[in-house]
Chain A
Amino acid sequence: MSGMSGKTQERLLYLISPIGLILLWQVLLMLGIGDRRFIPAPSDIAWRYWEMLRSGELVQHTAATLYRVFAGFFLGSIPGIAVGLLMAMFRPVRIFFDPLIASLFPIPKIALMPLLLLAFGFGDASKIALVVTAVFFPVVVNTYVGAANIEKIYWDVARNFGASQAVVFRRIVFFGALPMIFAGLRIALAVSFIVLVASEFVATKSGIGYLIWSSWELLQVDVMFVGIVTVGVLGLIATVILQEIERKVIPWKAE
Chain B
Amino acid sequence: MSTIVDARGFSCPQPVLMTMDEIKKVNKGEIEVLVDTDTSKENVSRAAESQGWQVREIQEEGEGYRIVISKD
Chains A and B bind each other: no
